[in-house]
Amino acid sequence: MKKARKTVCVAMSGGVDSSVTAALLKKQGYVVFGVHIRCFNVDGCAERDANDARRVAEQLNIPFYTFDLEKEYKERVVEYMVKGYTQGITPNPDVMCNKEIKFGLFLKRALELGAGSIATGHYVRIRVADAIPSTRSGFSSRNLRWSSRRAGFDVAPLQAYQNHRAALPQSFGNGITTPHFSLLIAKDKNKDQSYFLWTLTQKQLQHCLFPLGEYTKPAVRALAKKYNLPTAEKKDSQGICFLGQVSLANFLKSYIPARRGAVLTTTGKTIGEHRGAPLYTIGQRHGFTIKIQDSLPRQNCGGQARFKIQEKKRDALPHYVIEKNITANTLTVAEGNANPALYKKEIMLNDIHFINPLYPKPPSLNPLPLLARVRYRAPLAPATLAQLSTNNYKLIFKYPQRCIAPGQSAVFYNSKKEMLGGGIIA
């Protein structure tokens, strides 16, 4: 395929979002070809999704290919997740899939085929900014911004930047640095997926398009019907993509042997039993047995009380996992939705990554104020980030946050809803 800056490779999963992405880009003048990424799959739905993607490509009259990345996906995503659970943390396979597969191997192969950019159905907005050095040290606050929305998606992001730069006054000349790409929360706040993209780099983002960032989900459904796409009524996938209809617990059982252990209170008292500590996540309230004592009057015994052990009643307060001890194979649980043991105000982070290289890194003596979320769809919470050592940071929330799970991602934003980066919760 001849290299062309307006040639875009669309990752077509077989869902409505990637289908509309391909349709929009073709309508806006891109040379579009679709690729279905064949990944590791448990319940057999991958073949159906591939067929749906192929039908959409036929409807749009665009070339269609399949990249077989099943082996790489199993090694880099599935085994990463299983290893994390074995070690007692809660890894995020969607973050790793984006880092290693979609914006790693898929991007590399698409560029090798001749694409100038790739596009996905993620709900997120991308922006390009020039940074102009000031006459003093550092960068001035004056940025020249180029919006992919204003560009109408008629050119790839890097070409949009180049067109923009060419139109600037000559006096700016060589004073303009290379472009810097930023990710912003999507227009549809309920569908925003910036949380899963915090590991992306400037090198990757210069080849990325995210057309759905400016649309709501209902608008995307309406466009699918307008373009008569076969996936217009297809339901959205839920949970971890490669599991399909298989539950996470049942999947993990095939890799991590079940081993019964004790459920403990915060004071160390045994109150129940579980199937194996690695199989649970922080905040989980199901899948283990809690036993309680019921005091009942004993008949013909002078009113003395007798006790019996039974499973927890439906109307009893729920218990939530707050700690896992893999070595001892125990779970510690807290009773009630408002139990203080469910909340933390300070957490440690590893593997910090900032998307924009110009953004100031937080020194230990001057913490950086920002907004953060510790799980997908959690509200943005005010916090400060301080660097303790080269790879260790502390995130301090203004208000305690509920059910924070080690291994998950803490993702940072500024007040303008720009996604700055993130790190792994230690």
Q: Sheet of 64-68: strands edge to edge?
A: 64-68, 31-38, 7-11, 117-119, 208-209
Q: Sheet of 261-264: strands edge to edge?
A: 305-311, 289-297, 270-274, 261-264, 330-335, 319-325
Does the domain at 341-425 match CATH 2.40.30.10? Answer given as yes
Distances (CA, A) of 248 to 72, 261, 298, 403: 20, 19, 44, 19
Helix (H, G, I), strand (E, B) or coil at 218: helix
Rounded mean pLDDT for each run of 10 residues along the chain, 426 residues in total: 72 97 97 95 80 97 96 95 95 96 97 96 90 37 37 44 43 52 96 98 96 97 97 83 74 90 96 95 94 51 42 70 97 96 97 82 74 95 91 94 97 95 97
Domain definitions of the chain by residue range: 7-125+183-242, 257-337, 341-425
Kindly tell me the sign of the dihedral angle through the C-alpha atoms of 394, 78, 37, 115. positive
Distance, in Å, from the CA atom of 11 to the CA atom of 35, rounded to the nearest integer, reads 5
Q: Does this chain's domain 7-125+183-242 share its CATH topology with 341-425? A: no
Distances (CA, A) of 61 to 3, 32, 99, 420: 20, 10, 30, 38
Task: Map tokens 């999947």 to a residue.
Answer: 251
Report the pLDDT value the prediction gives residue 139, as an integer from 0 to 100: 33
241 is catalytic: yes
Spatial contact of 403 and 365, defined as CB atoms under 8 Å apart:
no
Spatial contact of 35 and 110, defined as CB atoms under 8 Å apart:
yes
Which is the catalytic residue, given 9, 39, 208, 241? 241
DSSP annotation string for 341-407: GGEEEEEEEEEEEESSTTSPP--TTSPEEEEEESSTTPPPEEEEEEE-SSS-EEEEEEEEEE---TT
pTM across the whole model: 0.84
Q: Where are the beta strands (DSSP E) in 265-304?
A: 270-274, 289-297
Distance, in Å, from the CA atom of 368 to the CA atom of 197, rounded to the nearest integer, reads 21
C-alpha triplet 157, 158, 159: angle, nearest 5°: 90
CATH of 7-125+183-242 among 3.40.630.30, 3.40.50.300, 3.40.50.620, 3.40.190.10: 3.40.50.620
C-alpha triplet 32, 37, 39: angle, nearest 5°: 175
Beta bridge partners of 291: 311
* Contacts made by residues 140-147, CB under 8 angstroms, sequence distance 24+: 144/168, 144/176
Beta bridge partners of 185: 124
Beta bridge partners of 411: 373, 422
Distance, in Å, from the CA atom of 8 to the CA atom of 21, rounded to the nearest integer, reads 11
97 is catalytic: yes
Distance, in Å, from the CA atom of 371 to the CA atom of 215, rounded to the nearest integer, reads 24
Report the pLDDT value the prediction gives residue 422, as an integer from 0 to 100: 97
Region of 407 (left: φ > 0; alpha: ψ -120 to 50; beta: rest) is left
Taking the CB of residue 65, how many other CB atoms lie within 10 A of it?
15
The terminus-to-terminus CA distance of the chain in angstroms comes to: 45
Distance, in Å, from the CA atom of 345 to the CA atom of 402, rounded to the nearest integer, reads 9
Contacts of 305 (CB under 8 A, 6+ apart): 295, 296, 297, 298
Contacts of 77 (CB under 8 A, 6+ apart): 39, 40, 93, 96, 97, 100, 101, 242
Report the pLDDT value the prediction gives residue 307, as an integer from 0 to 100: 37
Which is the catalytic residue, given 97, 208, 301, 403? 97
Distance, in Å, from the CA atom of 8 to the CA atom of 268, rounded to the nearest integer, reads 58
Task: Map tokens 């490779």 to a residue.
Answer: 9
**141-177 core/surface letters (b: 16 or more CB in 10 A; e: else):** eeebebbbeebebebbbbebbbebeeeeeeeeeeeee
Helix (H, G, I), strand (E, B) or coil at 240: coil
